[in-house]
Amino acid sequence: MKELIAETIEKLQEAAEVVPKAFVGFDGYVDKIQLPVKSLDGEERVFFPDIFDFSKHLAKHAGKSGQVELKTRITKAGGNAPIMSDALWALSVDTTCMGTLGKPKLHPVFEELNKRCKLVSLGPEAVSNAFEFGDGKIIFSELDVFDELDWQYIKKQKPLLSEISKALDNMDLLAFVDWVNLPHATDIWRGIATELLPKAKDKKRYFFFDLCDPSKKSSASVREMLEVLSEYQAYGTVVLGLNENETILIYAALKGEEPHSGQSLITTSKILFSEISVDLLLVHPNSSSILVRKDKTVEVQGKLVEKPKVLTGAGDNFNAGFMTSWIRGLGAEHSLLAGMAASGHYITTGHSASIPDVVTYLKNW
């Protein structure tokens, strides 16, 4: 591991002057990061330590009523697209973010991001309340602003269509995220693939797709979306990013069954890769990361952050760390490690990592 860390640091420093260009779409939220209060110890609040403990508390109130106090830690820009865009910017990527960032003007929470990235708003922002615990988070979201956001909506607004066309011609990375919460995401992705990409400049580019928790999607919807992803392979390298839960759910949707007892995540990932048409399958459980491609599968062990400052956005920062490293020419193991370091720095500090931050985190691994 020491050798891999040293090699990754060296490669990151060598590639730091490379400035890729990225386009990320199409969501945008105002996020309230909140801690549910379990009890009071004098004047000090005691928070629920984990999701199971919180669920037991809620179950006690079934058929009755109750109250849970919430401590809002921060109100900030949220959504996969804004968070990943901020992470890419921190890693020295020239980034454009298109999403639901406010209408008729940008919502104030996006003002800082607007100083860092080019922002293009599609309409009013969504709202999320993220309840964070020691072992994960539960997000409650208001998503009705996405209802009219389909391909026809974008086509009717020529500046938006032009912006996406320019991105296809000029960007090294195009990241399309939050498939689950955008009800017309498949429609938008298909429109780009069938109507814009055939006219786009022939160049080397990467397409990164992130789904979010697909548990509320039907198997038919999952298959349709994956078929659309395959259409992008003619125009660039297609990367599908999943966390552990998403990997299992997509596997179940395609196979019609859960992974059998004792089946490792790496085995599940390899079987899933064989069932879909993407070039790279990126899987990031909490304690490691996996990259599956046609010629080989690589797994790199990570480390758990014992006292995370923030959890919402950890996956977006991992994805940014991996993709920027991969585009800059780092190998599979080095890019996975850089992704985990970027995510670890974010979880620990609450801020997206720069390349020097990633290097420092790796030195203290």
Coil, helix or strand at residue 323: helix
Section 219-248 average pLDDT: 97
Q: What percent of the chain has a predicted confidence (pLDDT) above 70?
A: 100
What tens digit of pLDDT does each residue of 163-195 get? 999 999 999 999 999 999 999 999 999 999 999
To which H or E segment does residue 4 belong?
helix 2-15
The structure's pTM equals 0.90
Q: Would you say residue 247 has pLDDT above 90?
A: yes
Residue whose entry in the numeric block shows the structure tokens 């599968």: 297
65-98: string of b/e by CB count within 10 Å (b at 16+)?
eeeeeeeeeeebbbbbbbbbbbbbbbbbbbbbbb
Q: Quick one: DSSP state of residue 197?
A: G
Position 126 scores a pLDDT of 96
Residue 261 binned pLDDT confidence (cut-offs 50, 70, 90): confident
Position 14 scores a pLDDT of 96
Tokens of 312: 């919402």
| CA dist., res. 254 & res. 237, Å (int) | 22
Q: Would you say residue 304 has pLDDT above 90?
A: no
Q: Which of 317, 337, 349, 289 is nearest to 93 (CA)?
A: 317
Position 309 scores a pLDDT of 84
| Span of 289-293, 311-315, 336-340, 354-358 with lowest mean pLDDT | 311-315
- Please state the CATH superfamily assignment of the domain spanning residues 2-30+79-363 in this structure: Ribokinase (3.40.1190.20)
Phi and psi at 34, nearest 5°, equal -130, 150
| Span of 89-98, 159-168, 253-262 with lowest mean pLDDT | 253-262
What tens digit of pLDDT does each residue of 26-52 get? 999 998 989 999 999 898 999 999 999
Q: Would you say residue 162 has pLDDT above 90?
A: yes
DSSP string, 303-338: ---SS-S--TTHHHHHHHHHHHHHHTT--HHHHHHH
Position 135 scores a pLDDT of 87
